Structure 1
Amino acid sequence: MAKRAYSPKEVLAKKYKTLPWGEKWSGPFGEVPVNETWFISGASASGKSSFVMQLAKELCNYGTTLYLSYEEGISQSFQMRIKRERMSEVQGRFRVITDDTYEELAERLGRPKSAKFVIIDSFQESGITYDQFMELISRFHRKSFIFISQEYKGEPAGKPAGRLKYKAGIKIRVVGYKAYCQGRFTGDPGSCYTIWEEGELRTSNNIEKDEHKETDSGA
């Protein structure tokens, strides 16, 4: 039997529930469906981990958020980030796990009142394959999966991560304490989310110093 084909009228009539966040988030990232797949990447020391924690806190306003800390575990740096972003303010809506297997995660997400937002940090350290995550996304299609990826030479580390990036509707790259959206929903591709203003200024000043050094050396 042939699968159903949709008319333009049927496509346009379809309704999507989006995150009701304010201009701070909707400006750079747009009106994002609550069950969208995210892909966040960035070099080490770019502000990526801080951005992810800030995003997690924002998402707690709209549902329980589960943070899978595969890469850091419950390390001192992770603890400091929890404190800095005041995650105790969302105590009842934020949970951290460190070592769920695919089977354990699937069982956890299948429970009543399980998390609406699932952050995987990082995809490479999770031990869960691309195909297994696609199964989870399909099975729990009402949830939002947010994947954090390591980078190698400015690109997602490994072919599976590259495939995952193309699958995601929201693609974000963090550079110099700014998060830039490369996804499908932003109306202004040039806009960005500032993670840490002081860090952004330091990064900008260092870039300017390097440019002056290059100019002086070439004179």
Structure 2
Amino acid sequence: MTKRAYSPKEIAAKKWVTLPWGEQWSEPFGFPAENASWFISGASAQGKSSFVMQLGKELCKYGPVLYMSYEERVNQSFQRRMDYLGMNEVQGRFRVVTDDSIDELAERLAKPKSPKFIIVDSYQVAYDDFGWTYPAAVALMRRFNRKCFIFISQEDKSEPTGKPARRLRYICDMKVRVMGYKAYCLGRSIGEAGNHYVVWKEGILKTSNNL
């Protein structure tokens, strides 16, 4: 059976439901589709975890968020981060799981009123311990193509750690790198040139003073 080929007219006519967020988010990241895939990377102690939590809190305005906390689980630093970012304000829309395999997550997502946004932190731990191979991750994204998958990646020498993570970055719509408490959008759907999201203003000042 011959697979469908799209004409330029058909592509131009496609409509997307985009995130209707304010300038704080739209200036660095534009208005991505609600089901756009994200790949967020950054070295340790650069503000990546705080940025991801802030993004998760913002996304709660548009649908339920499930945070797959594979790397930190629910340790003391995770608890403190949730506290100072006021995650109690999104009670009922934000949930955290620590040990769902990719198959168990698929069962969860197939249920009515399942999460709309899924944060996988980190992809390396998910890959090693919970069945998130590159083909399995792609298959899950295609099966639940109306949902938004957000992958968090460790870094090694300024690159995502491991070949599967680097492959995954290529196919994701939103590519974000967190450096020096600033989050930069690197491709496909970007906001205004030169803009970035401020993760922690005081941290930027401290980093600048040290330099």
> Aligned residue for 2:20?
20
Say if 2:27 and 2:195, in contact at 8 Å, map to a contact too.
yes
RMSD: 0.9
Q: CA deviation at 1:183?
A: 1.9
**Do structure 1's residue 96 and structure 2's residue 100 form an aligned pair?**
no
SS of the equivalent of 1:125 reads: helix
Q: 1:154-193 alignment to 2 at 5 Å?
A: 154-193=158-197
CA distance in 2, matches of 1:150, 1:100: 20
Which of 141, 153, 158 is the matching residue for 2:145?
Answer: 141
C-alpha distance in 2, partners of 1:138/1:35? Answer: 11
- The residue identity in structure 1 corresponding to 2:204 is E
Aligned length: 207
Q: CA deviation at 1:84?
A: 0.7
Q: Deviations over 1:132-184 (max 9, x none)?
A: 11111010000000000000011000000000110110000000000000021
* Structure 2 SS opposite 1:62: coil
1:205 aligns with 2:209: yes
Structure 2 partner of 1:211 = none
Matches of 2:32 and 2:48, distance apart in 1: 20
d(CA) in 2 for partners of 1:19 and 1:110?
A: 23
- Answer yes or no: is the 8 Å Cα contact 1:70–1:98 preserved in 2: yes
In structure 1, the gaps of 5 or more residues are: 208-219
Q: How far did residue 3 of structure 1 move? A: 2.1
How far apart are residue 206 of structure 1 and its match?
1.4
SS in 1 for 2:124: coil
Check conservation: 1:68, 1:118, Cα contact below 8 A. yes
Aligned to 2:61: 61
Residue 41 of structure 1 aligns to a residue whose secondary structure is strand
Structure-to-structure mapping, 1:69-148, within 5 angstroms: 69-126=69-126, 127=129, 128-148=132-152
Determine which of 138, 152, 156 is the counterpart of 2:156.
Answer: 152
SS at match of 2:106: helix
**Partner of 1:194 in structure 2?**
198
> What letter matches 2:86 in structure 1?
R
TM-score of the superposed pair, with normalisation by structure 1:
0.93
Kindly state the Cα deviation for residue 192 of structure 1 after the two structures are TM-superposed: 0.2
Structure-2-length-normalised TM-score: 0.96
Secondary structure at the aligned position of 1:15 is classed as coil
Residue 187 (structure 1) shift: 3.8
Q: Could you say which residue in structure 1 is the equivalent of 2:43? A: 43
**Percent identity of the aligned residues?**
63
**C-alpha separation in 2, matches of 1:70 and 1:109:** 17
Structure 1 Cα separation of the partners of residues 134 and 140 of structure 2:
10
Query: The residue matched to 2:184 in structure 1 has which SS?
Result: strand
How far did 1:189 drift?
A: 3.7
Q: Deviations over 1:34-75 (max 9, x none)?
A: 001100000100000000000000000000000000000000
Q: Is the 8 A contact 1:50 1:81 kept in 2?
A: yes
SS of the aligned residue for 1:83 comes to helix
For residues 139 and 183 of structure 1, the distance between their equivalents in structure 2, rounded to whole angstroms, comes to: 24
